[in-house]
């Protein structure tokens, strides 16, 4: 599989992976957005719920304080204290039964007067009932004695079994929830000990009916629990009689539960941390989820607020559903989709731009490569045009151009210039005897010898075949003759390792110097004439021809130009 095919195959896969990454990133962004929205909602609703519960607790505390004040005031009154002192002899024993005590107390004018007093006090106090109990636990007067109600008065009843009364008869203020034994109506019972001359003589007991206190739970979701964890009143009356989780009432004796609540079983209200919140909304943090509660009859999570310490055994509670919960779930789905579409659109645009850029870069790179190849080809062609492909010497054309340039520079600088033409001796015989490959090596060896002997500013060019031109700038004829003579001798003394040992190379050289008015044809003509003289003189020698006005021979012009 080539690179193009591989790129075409992996492109869609990469794009799908990017879309999946966008979906995941969009989910994280949506989670963060809805978390902030949930935090703001919880903050606002928690403040509102706390305000509701705090107000509820203040009302309960205020109402109870007013209810306590009335029996506490009665306990300080002489009429109450005297009545209890006078009734200290009333007690339950084996001979005197409850009907007998009742009959005796109802006939006692002193107790009848006290009952009348209690009845009047009940009328203006807002209490449901008021009883006067002596130190023996016998109810000696009651506010309902003079009424025509069908329920029987507690006068003559032994009330020691009431838990709230037991504490009062021991000298302690007592307050507790309970259900009337005869009426079956629930209420708050307040028992205040009464002292006369420092001696505990009995207690004033008052009952405030729950019906009078319904304003405590006016707000939806509110309820009140007593010290045993039993819900004694609730906005939703179906919750009354239920218990809070792990309530003390479950540890009470059955007889005590029946005596206080007139029942034995108490269903659990089932308020607990909503464990299904994170299943429906995984974006909810564990810390936030612990603050959300589930309760029976509520489809979504709720906030749960409670206040205790109301100077009583009562506590105020509020279970308030989150009305914004369904909207938060919808917002999360909507935000997830919108953010994904935004990211996907951005990625798609970036993908198009990137692909276009990559293609443009690829085309640019291809164009640049072609340009570099063309430049390399041009450089190679230029090098081939400048240098002889076999020997590396300057080409004939470039050498002649260099000659013109050096002549102009020598004239301008008034400097000497020597030019020589060298021709390898008997070169045809080397080709015929040893082959053209040996001839090529001979030409290469001659050029290498020239490079080793000449200066860096000097130049050598191949004029054709085995004939070479030499340019020696800033060199007069005498110096030039010495240079080419050393070159000739070095060629004979240092044989080439690439040639057979029987091959002996020699060269004939003609050299001349530039005159003041020389043209390139003229100086080359004299150098060629000097070379001709070296060849006719026996070869393997150097001939120098000084500058003069001799016109170029026909041979030189024809052969060189």
**Distance set, CA 92 to CA 3, 135, 194, 269, 335 (Å):** 110, 11, 20, 42, 77
Could you tell me whether strands 542-545 and 507-513 are parallel, antiparallel, or unpaired per DSSP bridges? parallel
Residue 264 has a CB neighbour count (10 Å cut-off) of: 10
Q: Which CATH number fits domain 396-560: 3.30.70.20, 3.30.2130.10, 3.30.70.270, 2.130.10.10?
A: 3.30.70.270
| Confidence band, pLDDT 50/70/90 cuts, at residue 554 | very low
Residue 559 pLDDT > 70: no
Residue 7: predicted pLDDT = 60
Q: pTM for this structure? A: 0.59
Which class for 179: exposed (0-12), middle (13-18), buried (19 or more C-beta within 10 A)?
Answer: middle
CA distance 264 to 255: 8
pLDDT in tens, 122-131: 878 778 889 9
Which class for 501: exposed (0-12), middle (13-18), buried (19 or more C-beta within 10 A)?
Answer: exposed
pLDDT in tens, 399-454: 999 999 999 999 999 999 999 999 999 999 988 888 999 999 999 999 999 999 99
Beta carbons within 8 Å of 31's beta carbon, 6+ residues apart:
283, 332
Domain boundaries, given as residue ranges, for the chain: 76-209, 396-560
Residue 11: predicted pLDDT = 66
Q: How long a stretch of residues is the chain?
A: 561
List 544's β-bridge partners, or say none: 511
pLDDT in tens, 344-360: 888 888 878 888 888 88
Mean pLDDT of 490-495: 90
Mean pLDDT of 47-72: 89
Q: Which CATH number fits domain 76-209: 3.30.450.20, 3.40.190.10, 3.30.565.10, 3.30.390.30?
A: 3.30.450.20
Mean pLDDT of 27-50: 88
Question: How is residue 324 annotated by DSSP?
Answer: T
């Amino acid at each position: 599989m080539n690179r193009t095919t591989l790129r075409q195959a992996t492109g869609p896969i990469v794009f799908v992976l990017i879309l999946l990454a966008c979906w995941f990133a969009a989910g994280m962004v949506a989670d963060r957005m809805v978390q902030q929205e949930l935090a703001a909602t919880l903050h606002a609703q928690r403040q509102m719920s706390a305000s509701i519960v705090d107000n509820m607790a203040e009302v309960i505390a205020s109402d109870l304080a007013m209810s306590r004040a009335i029996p506490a005031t009665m306990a300080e009154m002489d009429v109450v204290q005297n009545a209890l002192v006078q009734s200290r002899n009333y007690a339950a024993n084996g001979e005197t039964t409850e009907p007998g005590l009742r009959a005796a107390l109802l006939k006692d004018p002193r107790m009848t007067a006290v009952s009348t007093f209690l009845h009047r006090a009940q009328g203006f106090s807002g209490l449901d009932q008021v009883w006067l109990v002596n130190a023996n636990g016998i109810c000696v007067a009651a506010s309902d004695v003079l009424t025509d109600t069908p329920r029987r008065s507690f006068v003559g009843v032994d009330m020691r079994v009431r838990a709230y009364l037991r504490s009062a008869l021991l000298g302690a203020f007592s307050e507790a929830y309970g259900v009337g034994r005869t009426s079956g109506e629930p209420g708050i019972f307040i028992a205040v000990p009464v002292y006369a001359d420092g001696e505990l003589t009995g207690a004033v007991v008052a009952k405030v009916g729950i019906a009078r206190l319904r304003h405590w739970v006016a707000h939806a979701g509110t309820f009140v629990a007593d010290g045993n964890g039993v819900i004694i009143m609730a906005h939703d009356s179906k919750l009354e009689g239920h218990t809070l989780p792990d309530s003390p009432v479950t540890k009470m004796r059955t007889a005590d539960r029946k005596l206080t609540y007139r029942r034995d079983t108490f269903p659990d209200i089932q308020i607990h941390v909503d464990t299904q919140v994170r299943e429906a909304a995984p974006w909810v943090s564990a810390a936030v989820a612990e603050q959300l509660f589930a309760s029976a009859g509520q489809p979504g999570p709720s906030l749960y607020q409670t206040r205790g310490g109301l100077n009583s055994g009562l506590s105020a509670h509020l279970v308030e559903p989150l009305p914004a919960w369904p909207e938060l779930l919808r917002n999360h789905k909507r935000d997830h989709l919108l953010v994904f579409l935004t990211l996907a659109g951005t990625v798609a645009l970036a993908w198009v731009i990137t692909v276009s850029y990559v293609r443009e870069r690829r085309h640019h790179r291809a164009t640049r490569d072609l340009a570099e190849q063309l430049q390399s080809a041009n450089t190679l062609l230029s090098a081939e045009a400048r240098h002889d492909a076999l020997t590396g010497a300057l080409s004939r054309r470039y050498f002649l151009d260099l000659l013109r340039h050096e002549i102009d520079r020598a004239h301008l600088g008034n400097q000497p210039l020597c030019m020589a033409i060298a021709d390898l001796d008997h070169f045809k015989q080397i080709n015929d005897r040893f082959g053209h490959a040996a001839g090529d090596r001979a030409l290469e060896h001659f050029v290498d010898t020239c490079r080793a002997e000449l200066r860096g500013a000097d130049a050598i060019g191949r004029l054709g075949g085995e004939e070479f031109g030499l340019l020696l700038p800033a060199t007069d004829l005498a110096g030039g003759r010495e240079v080419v003579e050393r070159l000739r001798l070095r060629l004979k003394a240092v044989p080439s390792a690439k040639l057979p040992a029987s091959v002996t190379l020699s060269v004939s050289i003609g050299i001349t110097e530039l005159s003041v008015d020389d043209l390139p044809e003229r100086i080359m003509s004299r150098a060629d004439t000097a070379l001709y003289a070296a060849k006719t003189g026996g070869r393997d020698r150097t001939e120098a021809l000084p500058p003069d006005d001799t016109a170029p021979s026909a041979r030189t012009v024809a052969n060189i130009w």
